[in-house]
Amino acid sequence: MTEEIVIKSRPRGGLQKSTHWKSEKGQRTLSLTQEVWSYLDIIGAQSDCNRSECIEILVRHAHRTGLDLQGIRREILTAPTD
C-alpha cells in the first residue's frame, strides 16, 4: 500500500519563512507585466497559493520537464489576438 503524501497549500498573504521545497527561501526582485501579475492573482486564487508559490511551481515544472520556453514564447507572440 502506498502512503499518501499530504502537501499543504502555501497561504495567500503574510510572510512564510518555511518551505516544503527543502530549500532556503529569500526575497527576490522580479519584473513582470501588469497583465501577468494579474494572471498570478487568478492562478493563485484558483490553486489556493500565493504568487511566489505559483512561480516556484511553474519554474520547477519547466526545469523538470525541459519545457521549450522559446517555442512557447513564439507561439504566444504570434497567436492571433481576440
For 57, residues 6+ apart whose C-beta sits below 8 A from its C-beta are: 49
pLDDT tens readout for residues 21-61: 888 888 889 999 999 999 999 999 999 999 999 999 999 99
Residue recorded with cell 494579474: 38
Across the chain, what does the average pLDDT equal? 85
Cβ proximity of 44 and 51 under 8 Å = yes
Of the pLDDT bands very low, low, confident and very high (cuts 50, 70, 90), residue 20 is confident
Helix 51-65 to helix 34-47 angle, to the nearest 10 degrees?
A: 90
pTM of the model: 0.72
3-state secondary structure of 76: helix
